[in-house]
Amino acid sequence: MRVLGIETSCDETAAAVVERDHNGQGRILSSVVLSQIDDHAPYGGVVPEIAARAHVEVLDRLIGQALHEAHMTLDEVDAVAATAGPGLIGGLIVGLMTGKAIAMVAQKPFYAINHLEGHALTPRLTDQIDFPYLLLLVSGGHTQMVLVKGLGDYERLGTTIDDALGEAFDKTAKLLGLPYPGGPEVEKAASLGDPSRFSLPRPLKGEERLDFSFSGLKTAVRQLATTLEPLSQTDVNDICAAFQAAVADTLNDRVSRSLARFRARFPGVKEPVLVVAGGVAANKVLRTCLQDLCSGNGFRFIAPPMALCTDNAAMIAWAGVERAGHMAADSLDIAPRSRWPLDMQSAPLIGAGRRGAKA
């Protein structure tokens, strides 16, 4: 089974070819990702119109490149999969229409993929893990703790009630005059700072519900920065260190409760797994914190390679592979959806499942 995948839901244009062999082992034959970061950087966040236009300009070339690198023609793929949501509607239309057109012309089955399902199934491509497992998705547009129970069977345990975690890093960076995207900049400054000089809030820490909240933390950073103005480099480093420490502490609390919840729900699972995905998973301090938490609780910790944690089309192709193995193809009149929760039963929360508008 070989699937061509297409991803255009935010600010990365991506195409990939992924195969699954007879033993169920996945293999990435090609994965091309073109980031638009430079196009959006002057605005301090993703601008939807710029994103959509940039996808149109490069997508067909990227698909050609993905097929070429996989040494394959369109005839040799078994299905086409494209992200249908959630995300920025302009970009989704570009990728979905392209995927449908290719599927129609090449007469291949078409799969409309939920971007979050792509992230959720990635560890089955990289590590062949079995259901059920826990997924912590922390990116610029999403912050969710999801119980991955089976293919198409997801339960959201918690989500952000305001900003996504990557968004909180980006906004904090902006407040402190650091460039976009802010995550790596804040991490760099934090490594030089003193986390104990300032104390910042730990939103929702200690609460039974498994949700996240980061806008209060960002406001606290703003107030602190205003009081200290003009900021020295040491001030910036110390604020970043305090911010990152508060995030680590909050994640620690939220995630350890989720691990306990998983144990209670699935007492028979011998080696439970926590998977982390999303751009924020690049943060070494947060990764170490999650790794330690898992070791201390008897969980295996999986962080897919960075190129598969951030947005890519291999995860969309893989979700197509998994779906093609169990489900009928989607109809070509399926529409893109800017909001599309993985768990259709969970109550919508403001800010959750939102992408873009990071500025």
Annotated binding site for Fe cation: 115, 119, 311
Dist CA 23 CA 333 (whole Å): 34
Footprint of ligand KG4 on 13-32 (CB under 6 A): none
**Site stretch for Zn ion (CB under 5 A), options 85-93, 203-211, 280-288, 310-318:** 310-318
Member of 95, 132, 272, 278 binding ligand KG4 (CB under 6 A): 278
| Burial group, residue 56, by CB count within 10 angstroms (0-12, 13-18, 19+) | middle
Q: Which stretch binds ligand KG4 (CB under 6 A): 163-171, 207-215, 228-236, 260-268?
A: 163-171
Least Å distance, CB 202 to ligand KG4, is 17
The owner of tokens 């820490």 is 205
Q: Which of 19, 117, 163, 311 binds Zn ion (CB under 5 A)?
A: 311
Instruction: Pick the piece of the chain touching ligand KG4 (CB under 6 A) from 92-100, 125-133, 161-169, 256-264.
Output: 161-169
- Residue 155 DSSP label: E
The answer to whether residue 282 forms part of the interface with ligand KG4 (CB under 6 A) is: yes
Chain mean position to CA 27: 20
Q: How far apart are CA 159 and CA 146, in angstroms?
A: 9
Q: Is 11 in the site for Zn ion (CB under 5 A)?
A: no
Examine residue 217 and tell whether it contacts ligand KG4 (CB under 6 A). no
Nearer to ligand KG4, 79 or 286 (CB): 286
Provide φ and ψ at 261, rounded to 5°. -65, -40
The residue behind tokens 């910790």 is: 301
Query: 64: which residues sit within 8 A by CB, 6+ positions away?
Result: none
Q: Is there a contact between 279 and 183 (Cβ–Cβ < 8 Å)?
A: yes
- Residue from 31, 283, 338, 346 touching ligand KG4 (CB under 6 A): that is 283
Least distance to ligand KG4, CB of residue 334, Å: 22
| Of the candidates 126, 125, 114, 163, the residue with the CA atom closest to the CA atom of residue 343 | 114
Binding mask 264-303 for Zn ion (x = CB under 5 A): ----------------------------------------
| C-alpha–C-alpha distance, residues 297 and 308, integer Å | 26
Phi, psi for 41 (deg, rounded to 5) = -50, -40
Nearer to Zn ion, 31 or 139 (CB): 139
Size of the site for ligand KG4 (CB under 6 A): 20
Instruction: Select from 169, 243, 262, 299 the one that contacts ligand KG4 (CB under 6 A).
Output: 169
Return the half-sphere exposure (C-beta side, CA atoms, 13 A cut-off) of residue 264: 6
- Please compute, for residue 69, the number of CA atoms within 13 A of its CA located in the half-sphere on the CB side: 17
Please state, as a whole number, how many other Cβ atoms lie within 10 Å of the Cβ of residue 22.
6
For residues 169 and 182, the answer to whether their CB atoms sit within 8 Å is: yes
Binding-site partner at residue 181 among Zn ion, ligand KG4, none, CB < 5 to 8 Å by type: ligand KG4
Query: Which span sits near Zn ion by CB under 5 A: 135-143, 224-232, 240-248, 341-349?
Result: 135-143
Report in angstroms how near the CB of residue 306 gets to ligand KG4 at its nearest.
9
Residue window 176-205: x/- pattern of binding to ligand KG4, with contact defined by CB under 6 A: -----xxxx--x------------------
Site membership for ligand KG4, residue 330 (CB under 6 A):
no
Q: How far apart are CA 72 and CA 114, in angstroms?
A: 25
Contact 319, 9 (CB under 8 A): no
Cβ distance 10 to 99 under 8 Å? no
> Site residues (CB under 6 A) for ligand KG4?
10, 139-141, 166-167, 169-170, 181-184, 187, 278-280, 282-283, 310-311
> Site residues (CB under 5 A) for Zn ion?
139, 311
